[in-house]
Amino acid sequence: MDEIKNLIKRGSITSVVILVYGLIIKEKIVYMGMFIGSLLSILSFYMICMDVKSIAARGGSYKAGIISYLKRYVIYGLALGIATYFFGIGMMLSTAIGLLNIKFNIYLMVLYKNFIKFKSKYLK
């Protein structure tokens, strides 16, 4: 549970960095698209955590898993569709990159742990 909280915290920090960067360069695509995408990424990860917790507590249900999966992808589809409809392809691509926020943070955490293991094993 500590790693999940740590991941959500890192994702939030990444979202704030994206927002500040977008405001500094004054680019609407960055501070709106990527920031909203990164917030949706955090929301969907939180939804995954809550769904796993509820399915594990009640017992595994195939139907509940499919419904929760579909809810997340409907949210992704709506966000990308709204971004495309109102702002164009550039905003959609920016939002899609923002949706990769949690995945990016997971990869960074794994790389950091592997680096620490490598360092302690070979670089004493």
Total-model pTM: 0.89
Q: Which residue has the tokens 């399915």?
A: 55
Count of the separate structural domains present in the chain: 1
Nearest in space to 8 (alpha carbons), one of 46, 65, 62, 64:
46
Report which residue type is found at 41: S
Q: How far is CA 37 from the centre of its chain?
A: 8
**Residue 74 belongs to what domain range?**
2-122
Over its length of 124 residues, how does the chain's per-residue pLDDT go in tens digits? 788 999 999 999 999 999 999 999 999 899 899 999 999 999 999 999 998 888 888 877 778 888 989 999 999 999 999 999 999 999 999 999 999 999 999 999 999 999 999 999 888 7
